Amino acid sequence: MLFNTIDFAIFLPIVFILYWSVFKNNLKIQNFFIVGVSYLFYGWWDWRFLSLILISTVVDFIVGLKLSTQENRKQRKFLLWISIIVNLGFLGFFKYYNFFLDNFIISFSFFGVSINANNLDIVLPIGISFYTFQTMSYTIDLYYKRLSATKDFIAFSAFVSFFPQLVAGPIERARNFLPQFFKKRTFDYEKAVDGLRQILWGLFKKIVIADNCAIYVDKIFANTSDYSGSTLVVGMFLFAVQIYGDFSGYSDIAIGTARLFGFKLMQNFAFPQFSRDVGEFWRRWHISLSSWFRDYLYVPLGGSKGNILIKARNVFLIFVITGFWHGAKWTFIVWGTLNAIIFSLLMLQNKNKLSLKIIAKDKKLPSITDILSITKTMLIIMFTGIFFRVTSIEHAISYILGIFSSSLFSFPEVLPKKLLITILIFIGIEWFGRENKHALENFGLNWIKPLRWSFYYLIVICIILFAGKQQTFIYFQF
């Protein structure tokens, strides 16, 4: 079930009413209800893959119980590896089997060895990269004794399958999110209203911004050789806007929906489009994934300790794995590698942590220096993003060569003026909300009530009138 569909618009109010009216007095029944509606939400897409979520849940629940009573180090490590192998085994088979098979065959062909093997017609279960990482956080935290094992299978199942963030995050840590299923939840009107504002803004990002950008992005990237360098730059820019609106829009809807039910999810995007360097960008983009790799891979490898070669190795490993996490394509690996190189250069100069504070904090406008820094950073991110969007390495090379041609200085054949004006307004609202958890958290709250509600209704009207062609969320494919 997609957030941007009539199905979800019917589903959410029904679940909300039942949750707070029929099941509000019994925490266990509330959790059981969450499991039921979460499985319905996921099964709406394809019920067959519910078995993967169930197996992952059962395995990690049992491993957790065993870890809570086992003190032998070898046995504990064995139990942890059971969890990792099961979860990454599912992920590896469904997401990477054909990729490794193809590259295995190509590798042997260099030595004149011909291998006959057929690819499998595998459907990638949506959300598998997200819920496998979330449930692994539980067993890893138990292994390092950062968390106590739960004996409540229903609460644990609700933690794994919680429908707002099941298919595209944020990827929650067990030690932060699981305890919320054991605390009595009471309806908080102010939090619910703020959740609705965040949902509204998320829908605007997705439906008005991302889906309209997608129309032009798909056209330009599908016909690269037909367009001038200036038009390819427009495509590069619109894709950066599209993916931000699409993914941060999903996160806003997920976080806002969770708040309706009394849960607090972590912030997944902290206005990365206003970053002054690539280091700051990666601290603000897809925070739940980057912090997951930091906590469970980067730090165990030594993190920032040791000499510069060890630091560079760890950074490279994290970025390349991050690229590969996004998909079984060499373009994602190149994308991760390019970002690793750029980040490492900052780190070698001790400049990767220069921009830790909110840009132009307590100020209405950025300085000239801020504007130049943001522009430089976003040009770098947009350029590397070409590899994220193209279909192959050859396509990426063709696209880049097309940009750096004499036609770069010609007038673009594709220039959606109305959309660009809408994007500027969108960026402006995001700028004034950059010090908050989401753009509309405090935006307009000091206005008189009629004006404030007129603004909300205007967003609703824009969503209805200016909706682009309905698109699935980009990160569903990961």
pLDDT in tens, 377-421: 999 999 999 999 999 999 999 999 999 999 999 999 999 999 999
The answer, yes or no, to whether residue 121 has pLDDT greater than 70, is no
| pLDDT surpasses 70 at 152 | yes
Q: Are residues 179 and 205 in the same domain?
A: no
Token representation of residue 301 = 């490898």
Structural domain boundaries, residue 29 = 6-186
Q: Check residue 24 and give its pLDDT.
A: 84
pLDDT tens, residue by residue, 69-108 = 988 999 999 999 999 999 999 998 888 877 767 665 666 5
Q: How many CB atoms lie under 10 A from the CB of residue 115?
A: 11
Helix (H, G, I), strand (E, B) or coil at 129: helix
**DSSP letters spanning 204-237:** IIIIIIIHHHHHHHHHHHHTGGGS-HHHHHHHHH
pLDDT score for 111 = 59
Kindly state whether residues 119 and 225 are assigned to the same domain: no
In terms of domains, do 359 and 472 share one?
yes
**Does residue 295 sit within a domain?**
no
**Rg for the chain (alpha carbons), in Å?**
23
Residue 168's pLDDT is what? 84
Number of other residues whose CB lies within 10 A of the CB of residue 37: 21
**Is 20 found in the same domain as 126?**
yes
Q: Out of 186, 218, 236, pick the residue that ends a domain.
A: 186
Residue 25 lies in a domain: yes
Q: Would you please indicate which residues are annotated as catalytic (active-site) residues?
A: 326
Are residue 240 and residue 138 in the same domain, yes or no?
no
Q: Residues 154, 19: one domain?
A: yes
Of 186, 221, 242, the last residue of a domain is 186
Q: Which of 131, 134, 135 has its CA nearest to residue 59?
A: 135
Rounded mean pLDDT, 152-173: 93
Q: What is the mean pLDDT of residues 226-230?
A: 95
Percent of the chain with pLDDT over 90: 74
Greater model confidence, 69 or 117 = 69
84 and 118 inside one domain? yes
SS (H, E, C) 346-371: HHHCCCCCCCCCCCCCCCCCCCHHHH
Same structural domain, 101 and 215: no
Same domain, 176 and 228: no
182 lies in the same domain as 203: no
Average pLDDT (326-346) is 92
Name the nearest CA neighbour of 463 among 215, 207, 197.
Answer: 207
Residues 44 and 169 in one domain: yes
* Assigned domain for 311 exists: no
Residue 46 inside a domain? The answer is yes
Q: For residues 142-168, give the mean pLDDT.
A: 94
Given a cut of 70, whether residue 357 has pLDDT beyond it is yes
Interatomic CA distance for residues 248 and 226, integer angstroms: 31
Tell me whether residue 134 is in a domain.
yes
Least confident of 120-134, 158-172, 436-450: 120-134
Whether residue 179 is found in the same domain as residue 253? no
Instruction: Say what percent of the chain tops pLDDT 70.
Output: 94
403 lies in some domain: yes
Overall average pLDDT of the 239-254 stretch = 96
**Would you say residue 349 lies in a domain?**
no
77 domain-assigned: yes
Residue where a domain stops, chosen among 136, 151, 186: 186
Q: What is the reported pLDDT for 108?
A: 55
Q: What is the mean pLDDT of the chain?
A: 91
Q: pLDDT tens for residues 39-80?
A: 999 998 888 889 999 999 999 999 999 999 988 999 999 999
Least confident among 90-99, 250-259, 269-278, 374-383: 90-99
For the chain, what is the domain count? 2
Burial profile 371-396: b = 16 or more Cβ within 10 angstroms, e = fewer = eebbeebbebbbbbbbbbbbeeeebb
